[in-house]
């Protein structure tokens, strides 16, 4: 079955620690995205990538980094510079240029908590 896999489902981070969230898709989608969701708020765009080896900052990129070395993979690193990282992180993909017509496919999310 085609889809997006995010791991881990739950992640606990200590103060000052970097952590990496995995996102893999086998939908052959060109574009991939990372969103953050906080309680009672809409999804906010962290980073997106429309093609391999290229990515752009979204609205809240500070304290995060990404890479896109393979079409299937778009890992997100939450660095120690991100002061309030506790949130639900969602990875999504779409056929490039077609998110306007077909929307996104989302992974099941990673819930990150700072301990």
Binding residue for another protein (CB under 8 A) from 42, 54, 83, 115?
42
- Residue ranges in 91-110 that form contacts with another protein under rule CB under 8 A: 97, 99-109
Binding residue for another protein (CB under 8 A) from 31, 66, 76, 78?
31
C-alpha distances (whole Å) from 98 to each of 72, 92, 106 are 18, 13, 15
Binding residue for another protein (CB under 8 A) from 87, 90, 93, 112?
90
Residue among 109, 97, 90, 75 nearest 31 (CA)? 97
Bridge partner list, 58? none
Residue tagged 């989608």 (tokens): 29
- Residue ranges in 55-84 that form contacts with another protein under rule CB under 8 A: 56, 58-59
> What is the distance between the alpha carbons of residues 115 and 106, in angstroms, rounded to a whole number?
27
Site of interaction with another protein (CB under 8 A): 31, 33, 35, 40-45, 48, 50, 56, 58-59, 88, 90, 97, 99-109, 111
């Amino acid at each position: 079955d085609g889809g997006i896999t995010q791991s881990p489902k739950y992640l606990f981070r200590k103060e000052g620690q970097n952590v990496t969230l995995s996102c893999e898709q086998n939908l052959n989608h060109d574009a991939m995205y990372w969103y953050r969701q906080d309680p009672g708020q809409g999804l906010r765009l962290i980073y997106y990538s429309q093609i391999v080896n290229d990515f752009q900052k979204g609205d809240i990129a500070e304290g995060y980094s990404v890479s896109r070395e393979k079409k299937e993979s778009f890992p997100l690193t939450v660095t120690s510079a991100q002061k309030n990282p506790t949130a639900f992180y969602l990875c999504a993909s779409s056929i490039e240029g077609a998110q306007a017509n077909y929307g996104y496919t989302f992974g099941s999310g990673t819930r990150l908590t700072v301990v």
